[in-house]
Amino acid sequence: MSNPHSFHLNPHSGATSCNVRSSVSQQQAEMEGAMSVKISCLLLSLVGISLVLGAYQPIKIEVDKNVETKIFTDEEIANYDGSQEDKPIYMAVKGAVFDVTSGKSFYGKKGPYNALAGKDATLGVAKMSLQPEDLISDVSSLSDEQLKELDTTFEQVYTAKYPVVGYMSYLIDQQEADAARREDL
| pLDDT tens string 90-109 | 999 999 999 999 999 999 99
Provide the residue type at 87 as one letter: K
Looking at the fold, whether 47 and 91 belong to one and the same domain comes out as no
Q: Is pLDDT of 27 > 90?
A: no
Categorize the per-residue pLDDT at 150 as very low, low, confident or very high, splitting at 50, 70 and 90.
Answer: very high
Looking at the fold, whether 160 and 112 belong to one and the same domain comes out as yes
Mean pLDDT of 70-82: 97
**Domain-located, residue 61:** no
**Domain-located, residue 107:** yes
Looking at the fold, whether 112 and 147 belong to one and the same domain comes out as yes
| Nearest by Cα to 95 from 136, 129, 153, 145 | 136
**Domain-located, residue 15:** yes
Cα-flanking dihedrals φ and ψ of residue 62, to 5°? -110, 125
Determine how many CB atoms are found less than 10 A away from the CB of residue 47.
14
| Nearest by Cα to 86 from 119, 109, 106, 110 | 109
Nearest-angstrom CA–CA distance, 126 and 142: 8
Average confidence score pLDDT of the chain: 78
Angle at 142 between CA 99 and CA 139, to 5 degrees: 45
**Domain-located, residue 105:** yes
**Domain-located, residue 60:** no
Cα 73 from chain centroid (whole Å): 22
Mean pLDDT of 152-167: 96
pLDDT value of residue 172: 87
Categorize the per-residue pLDDT at 30 as very low, low, confident or very high, splitting at 50, 70 and 90.
Answer: low
Q: Is residue 8 classed as helix, strand or coil in its secondary structure?
A: strand
Nearest-angstrom CA–CA distance, 58 and 9: 25
Contact in structure between 18 and 38 (CB atoms under 8 Å): yes
Check residues 15 and 185 and name the one with the higher pLDDT: 185
Looking at the fold, whether 82 and 148 belong to one and the same domain comes out as yes
Order the strands of the 164-168 sheet from edge to edge: 70-72, 164-168, 96-99, 90-93
Number of domains composing the chain: 2
Question: What CATH number is attached to the domain comprising 122?
Answer: 3.10.120.10
Looking at the fold, whether 75 and 136 belong to one and the same domain comes out as yes
Looking at the fold, whether 107 and 177 belong to one and the same domain comes out as yes
Q: Is pLDDT of 5 > 60?
A: no
**Domain-located, residue 126:** yes
Check residues 88 and 2 and name the one with the higher pLDDT: 88
Q: Is pLDDT of 54 > 90?
A: no
Domain with 94 in it: 70-184
**Domain-located, residue 110:** yes
**Domain-located, residue 35:** yes
